[in-house]
C-alpha cells in the first residue's frame, strides 16, 4: 500500500511538472508572438523574449536553446492551432483544393500567431520543419495526380500551388490587399482551382 501511494505521488508530481513546463513554453511562445507583432522582428532576441514573458533568460534557454528553436516552437504552436480548427490534412490534391476556403476562413481565429509566424519566416528566411514536410507532401500529391508531367513541371506547380494555398497568401491578402479571411479563402480557392484545371489538362494532353 505504501509503495502504491508513493507511486501515485510520483505520478502526480510528474504531471504537475509537465504541466508547469508546458505553461512556461506557452508563455514564451506568446512572448515571441507579441514581440514580433508589436515591436518587430528586430526586437526578437532571447533577452527580450525573457523580459516580455516575465521570466529569466536562463529559463528561456532551458526550453529553447536558440532563436531558431524559438522559431520552430512558434511554427509548432501554429500547426497545433491549425489542427485544433478541425481541418484534416489532405492526402490528395482534390482534398487539398477542397480545404482551402474553410482553412483560410478559420485562419482569422489564430491570426496573431499566424501573422507572427509569417513575418518571422520571411524576415529570417527560416523554413520550419513542418513547412518543409508539407511542401514535400504537396509535391508527392502532385506527382501522383499528374504522372505525365516532368519533374521540373511538378516542382514549378508545387511552388505556385503551395504559395497560393498557404499562410503567406492569406497574410498578404488580409494584411495588404484589404480582404477578410473569407474573401481570401474564395480568392485562393479560385486561383488554385484554375491552376490545377490547367495542369490536369496539360497532363491529359501529354503523350
Same domain, yes or no: 116 and 164: yes
Same domain, yes or no: 97 and 193: yes
Alpha-carbon distance of 15 to 30, in angstroms, equals: 22
Alpha-carbon distance of 113 to 111, in angstroms, equals: 6
Rg of the chain (C-alpha set)? 21
142 to 20, 168, 190: CA distances (angstroms): 43, 20, 18
Cell of 181: 479571411
Alpha-carbon distance of 145 to 94, in angstroms, equals: 9
Is 55 inside a domain boundary?
yes
Q: How many domains does the chain have?
A: 2
Is 71 inside a domain boundary?
no
Q: Which residues constitute the domain of residue 32?
A: 1-65
pLDDT tens digits for range 174-202: 999 999 999 999 999 999 999 999 999 99
Give the ranges where the chain is alpha helix by DSSP (H).
Answer: 2-38, 46-53, 57-63, 67-84, 93-107, 111-124, 129-145, 151-164, 167-175, 181-205
pLDDT tens digits for range 51-102: 999 999 999 999 999 999 999 999 999 999 999 988 888 999 999 999 999 9
Q: What is the pTM of this model?
A: 0.85
Burial of residue 32 (CB within 10 Å: 0-12, 13-18, 19+) is buried
> Residue 108: enclosing H or E segment and its boundaries?
none
Is 1 inside a domain boundary?
yes
Same domain, yes or no: 105 and 202: yes
Q: What is the domain-level CATH number for residue 37?
A: 1.10.10.60
Alpha-carbon distance of 64 to 21, in angstroms, equals: 12
Alpha-carbon distance of 147 to 22, in angstroms, equals: 44
Same domain, yes or no: 2 and 94: no
Is 17 inside a domain boundary?
yes
pLDDT tens digits for range 8-66: 555 545 555 556 678 999 999 999 999 999 999 999 999 999 999 999 999 999 999 99
Same domain, yes or no: 55 and 92: no
Same domain, yes or no: 92 and 58: no
Amino acid at each position: 500500500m505504501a509503495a502504491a501511494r508513493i507511486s501515485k505521488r510520483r505520478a502526480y508530481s510528474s504531471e504537475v511538472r509537465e504541466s508547469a513546463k508546458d505553461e512556461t513554453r506557452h508563455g514564451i511562445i506568446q512572448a515571441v508572438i507579441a514581440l514580433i507583432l508589436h515591436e518587430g522582428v528586430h526586437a526578437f532576441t532571447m533577452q527580450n523574449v525573457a523580459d516580455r514573458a516575465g521570466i529569466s533568460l536562463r529559463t528561456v534557454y532551458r526550453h529553447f536553446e536558440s532563436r531558431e528553436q524559438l522559431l520552430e516552437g512558434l511554427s509548432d504552436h501554429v500547426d497545433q492551432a491549425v489542427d485544433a480548427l478541425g481541418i484534416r490534412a489532405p492526402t490528395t490534391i482534390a482534398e487539398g483544393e477542397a480545404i482551402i476556403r474553410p482553412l483560410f476562413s478559420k485562419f482569422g481565429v489564430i491570426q496573431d500567431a499566424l501573422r507572427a509566424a509569417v513575418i518571422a519566416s520571411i524576415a529570417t528566411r527560416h523554413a520550419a520543419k513542418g513547412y518543409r514536410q508539407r511542401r514535400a507532401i504537396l509535391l508527392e500529391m502532385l506527382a501522383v495526380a499528374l504522372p505525365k508531367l516532368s519533374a521540373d513541371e511538378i516542382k514549378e506547380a508545387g511552388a505556385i500551388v503551395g504559395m497560393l494555398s498557404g499562410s503567406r497568401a492569406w497574410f498578404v491578402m488580409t494584411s495588404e490587399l484589404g480582404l477578410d479571411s473569407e474573401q481570401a479563402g474564395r480568392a485562393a480557392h479560385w486561383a488554385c482551382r484554375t491552376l490545377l484545371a490547367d495542369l490536369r489538362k496539360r497532363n491529359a494532353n501529354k503523350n
